[in-house]
Chains A and B, each alone.
Chain A
């Protein structure tokens, strides 16, 4: 982390130390809004090394150009972590994180309308001995509720600066910045904060433990006392000390303390919580005047409709249907525009450059690759726009509340609903939307099954195959067979997701089973500025991370399909053959490219699924994007500008025969086998690239590709072999 460099050449460059300021707070305390208000767009989002947890940071420039790095820690309720992202936050604060030292200053963001629970964390952080500033957020809501807070009183009692703010209204942000600048530069001298745990009933019970912790690295008496209470109360807290020296001694002391508490009739699990909340309730009683509640709040009134027993699900369906409909229809316009613009650019390049490998690579490799990346942007932008609104208004939590019943059955929670629904449009934004899932196990599981949802890129494949091979007959006068087959493909994807989720959580994504304890935040108006940040962030993350991989793979695929070029002699031989009236292998050009050779190489493997080597080429090139198989087949069959509805392409497929047996290459059974393969296989480099980005490792995308391929192979194999045995093969 280098300091900002002074560009003014007349001055002497002084490298200033970066002051590191961590934002900590409960989920839903408005911490991220405060982060946005402080740093604006000067944000850097990366992952902590080796884990899926995002590290968000931004720079602030203080007086004398002193640089301040603001780090947005994952939301936590206490210093005892229950999940991976909480673990990171706690490790950083307590100084046990191997990749990130403890901050110079902690800004605790607290929801002022829910102060007791927020103070629980704040007082714990004070006890660590780090310098703390308390930012009382949502003061605007408090005013509306007529809630009065004695800010000075709180500051005196806790002995820390307390700044009332409203990040949403940009209120008090300058004061908060000034307070950060003032206190951030004090370093360890800035230690402030009075522990609220002083002179309480349990001091004597904890004494041996306090002494032990002071001998083992916790200097401050209040910090040692807080840690003593924590290891008594919480087995997880004790585990954090288990791999250090003297742990047997520690376990013994903890056992003894627990026995003493039991003897006094105090449940040891509640030791810390009880003491802390008792003190906090006292502080709040002295410093907050809360008006008597005047009936039900606005949120409750809204919920009477939005989570109503009957209207709730109806409204949810209408809201989500509108959103996904608009993602499809609105995104269509810019997507077409992007495709047209890149098509025009390609033509320009074709005119400017002489034909040859360079022109070919620019047009069919680079520009096509740029297109493959950019074409996702409209959907990502639209989805994240709506997702940010749903989340910031508080409605997303209600969707989870309504849908949890069903998701619980497959071992997920209601929070997975939106990412899975989004994946019907495209798995890329769907997988990015899993960031709203708090539980890391649920998030990974959702990512791994999301690509089973039939995305819009599969539709051209279904359309082509159904149009060419499924007869348009009415079953019983009610069901139109092609429509029924299309529906089956969508249902198959969903069933596969359920099966995969069940298997994966047994063997792969074990971890704790879902504990669904979720806050239902009060409804709020969204702040457009923050929604814009979210959309911008999502788009940037996609283009800069996944975009590079997609681009590289596009060029490789172009190379495989174009090289080696047939040599001159080969061309002449073919021409001579044609002139002499003999039948010519019309596939000779593609057959001897690398892609063609690969297709022939894998033919023995895919033959049991009913696929020949030409379909094999399609399987390889469609890795760029599923619908590419359509244009690949069109190229193989020498058709210009054919798409999935093209009659020529359908006819070409219907008429293709195996040269040795004369049997048709494509039959309805082959078409179904191929569609099933496309439902189940992860034939999409963009999905794999985004999984790489979101999980921060190649392990999960590789695993995903392999396990989905196995699903696809087994399913297509079974359908084709059983179908053939039953006589549906012709």
Chain B
């Protein structure tokens, strides 16, 4: 159960990326933005991208940078993989979750674990950008000249203690989530920046099978 909660919180972080210093104002047309998000969810069948994750440990004045690659395929296939400086992978394949670290591969059945069901829903919703429909966050809509920014404040007890805020960024065309940032109450943060993104490219189902 503990491992499940850790994973739940961690997966949220894994879905977020770097915020740029910009002046953000309240979004003028939130209805139009939500419509674009809906369209994005419907028109995106696959996403493939490299990412750089930077964990900023404020008190220790240390940063841990890791690189990886992720693939998403509708309806419910996700592969989130760290390649350097360590190997770690999470694969969601419909009702199965596989976690592979450097020492062990563990298989979980989503239906037998409510927490994993929650993980799946949040992970997929984050990648597709429709996390604001989940009802698990209070959402503040902002925009700048360059992009859109959503500030998500957790409403769920247990998540509030370890997560202060999530910033989710979209390009002006609202084609995909471009950056995310997670802030913890302690001042630490996790930032993930996506690069080399491919939308709707062919991804083999075999990518989502781990033995």
| Same assembly | no
Q: Residues of B at under 8 Å CB distance from A? A: none
